[in-house]
Amino acid sequence: MIIRQTSLIEVRKIPAKGRGIFATDFIPDGTVFERAPVLVMPAKEINVDQEDTVLSHYMFAWGKNTVAIALGFGSLYNHSYSPNARYEDVSGQMKNYIAIRDIQAGEEVTINYNGDANSKESVWFDVIENKGEKGVRGKKGVRPL
């Protein structure tokens, strides 16, 4: 399988958020705009009990007793309760990122870390929405993607 990085997205710094993924061009609803390989490892190899490690901000649960880091830009998408994209696990250790509405050039591309774009379930950090609204504070730990 050949995987190529897309020219539709880029990483930018965001005040109060860190980094995020932004559309460099118009992305139509339904477009798979990134295919990211996933690096899976036993949870015991990572100190998942520590709540605030550098890796804890980028890894997520992947099956029983395993965690993963999505390569490419996959672990850099910010969470939103009103996302414009979603992810899906595909055969092998891959994630696809798909637009769930039209995304304009220059717009931040976000996903819902709960897996369901409509989920309002709290996450483990304070959510800062693009409109400057803070979301619900949730538990800390490995994100359950």
pLDDT tens digits, one per residue of 27-82: 999 999 999 999 988 888 776 566 666 766 677 777 788 888 889 998 899 888 89
134 or 1: which leads in pLDDT: 1
Torsion of CA 139, 22, 40, 125, to 10 degrees: -10
Read off the pLDDT of each residue in 121-137 and give the average, rounded to a whole number: 53
Per the CB < 8 A criterion, the answer to whether 97 and 77 are in contact is: yes
Quote the pLDDT of residue 67. Answer: 84
68's enclosing H/E stretch is strand 66-70
Going by their DSSP bridges, the two strands 78-79 and 108-111 should be labelled as parallel
pLDDT digits (tens, 9 = 90+) for 82-105: 999 999 988 778 999 999 999 999
Task: Answer with the residue of higher pLDDT: 125 or 60.
Answer: 60
**Spatial distance between the Cα atoms of 35 and 90, rounded to a whole number of angstroms:** 9
Partnered with residue 65 across adjacent β-strands are none
Asked if 36 and 71 touch (Cβ cutoff 8 Å), the reply is yes
Distance CA 108, CA 24 (A): 10
Q: How many CB atoms lie within 10 A of CB 99?
A: 21
**What average pLDDT score do residues 112-136 get?**
61
pLDDT at res. 15:
84
